[in-house]
Structure 1
């Protein structure tokens, strides 16, 4: 039967975050007390005015196929948003809508990657980047950070660029690390990219509204306008507006690239969800009070996690600057044994032990390209988060 499946799919790994989340669901269904901190999904309800926009669209009969690149009111809302919040000027032909930011990335890679093309992926990375590149016959080139850093630096970027490099994937705020690139750091990367005009940049900005402690979000074409034509801005409404299930993402960039991406999308999914597009237009148009409230709640939970987990022996972490994840070193637990006598030799062992012994689901760092780390999401109910973090502390304290 293995000969029946494509070599491209056989090369792929399932999403590590989805796999952990599914295991947690199965254990819950079997009656286990499990708290999942594995999935990056806001626990808040979609704001009421956004829901109402969807209901009104359905009542108007806006339930038919839309243009492959999205309805004009939503594309105009995207143009307005980019001008208002990011100082970026695009016209309607330079933006498009997809079924989630993940489809934007997929469309772009399908439209541009030939076998052997290289894509620079800074470590740690979102689990999907290398899988999509590899599926298409591209070569993921992992850019390891300098010691003590979780960000790509100009020197590291320069070392990884070759004549085969087609894209640089840049995610800020970063999943899983929470690192945020400042405008100055982006300009440093831009100086390297200016010397290599064949390299394009995919700027994954999906967590842009989730920054803390006075950090300021900047996107690459905003910090380095000279790279605007070579940058594809990727964004969506899932994270900031608590709209993960609505599946609306969008892209802004070169019109010719977007037309090619639209051709791909028209064959894969025809068009984005019609009613969800009207909801997304309402989200991007405001009001933004609830979004600000979401961010405030995440900021409080971020501090709560740090307060509790500082008591966990063997763990080491920094406060994330953005997104809603902690990326935590568990290196100090290696070589120790659980109460059941099982030795911890890797982050996978650590995560498995937390799940089976403490009932807390986390994602091993190996899934993000970094051994001996794990990721937790604090986009979850505060009381459940407190309980899960205390379980992690108790589990670490029980190791011998």
Structure 2
């Protein structure tokens, strides 16, 4: 009955209102569409003016093309509006001109929708975070897919001062995870498991140089073979690496399922004065093809907020942090792990050694600082599937839908002087 009444009202209007009146209304709508999209295109070109200096692609896609398109739309608007009110044009030309503008406006709307969909699908950061945002869901066979990283954090121990036995224990744990959790993609174990460091007090001090190995070398050859065998990403804690200059570093490795060393990170912040390794001088991230980007940190690194911030700035969506904590300051490390996760809006996986080598309490934290899993003191395996798209969601809409630290830094961080570092904040490479 409702639709029948509505149809009757429309029929009455069509018989009462003249065709010319309806045509003029349509032409006016077309003019307004042309004006709106012309101004919007030129405004976008102005808005992205700083980004246009980065490359030719940026100049074309965010400068030249929007400006030319906006100019053409405004020119069409001005000409068509002039024709409508120019008596010399008669009764036919205004209709043709206005109808053309209307079609152009509708076509621009449709073309804009297609262009936004394509650009958002290929490069999710095309627009500045915190402004225009599009939620992209890919549905295949009625299932929603996401960038998922299935990870197992193995809280275990090494065999003190026995390198072969510790490697066999590590390899056995990896194969057991592969058997028990076939969906897992990455396995991480505690710091220095393969260098088989003893607990804090029994350490004689000489073991560091005795256990140090070359990277790449015989140990990494075995690790690469194990990764190929199991088809897993491996982060085998860290090892004592003997560098070419004779110094020894505490080095974390990432081995790909193809059996290649994907990343090597030398601990930047050794636990001084107790740890005698030489500090590294760079922060390291690596790509997990088809999934996302991970960053490496080791134990005491987590006490320095600069490390997690730099890894997130480099694009890390998850920070993998092998740890060997034997003392009761573990509670402070747990606080740091949560703080590093939420202030940088990344996942943090911190895996500590089990009793008696360490005090355990490994944990996984989501990008909003919420603890997903936390272990006890003994041997344990934490298994989780990390949604790396959650990092994009949180950085776009805010932690708990509220806080957007990266967006705020992107807005005016380059104007905030940091005397300690002799510079200012810089927009992260992924903040386009």
TM-score, normalization by structure 2: 0.23
Of structures 1 and 2, the one scoring higher in RCO (CA 8 A, sep 6+) is: 1
Higher share of residues assigned strand: 2
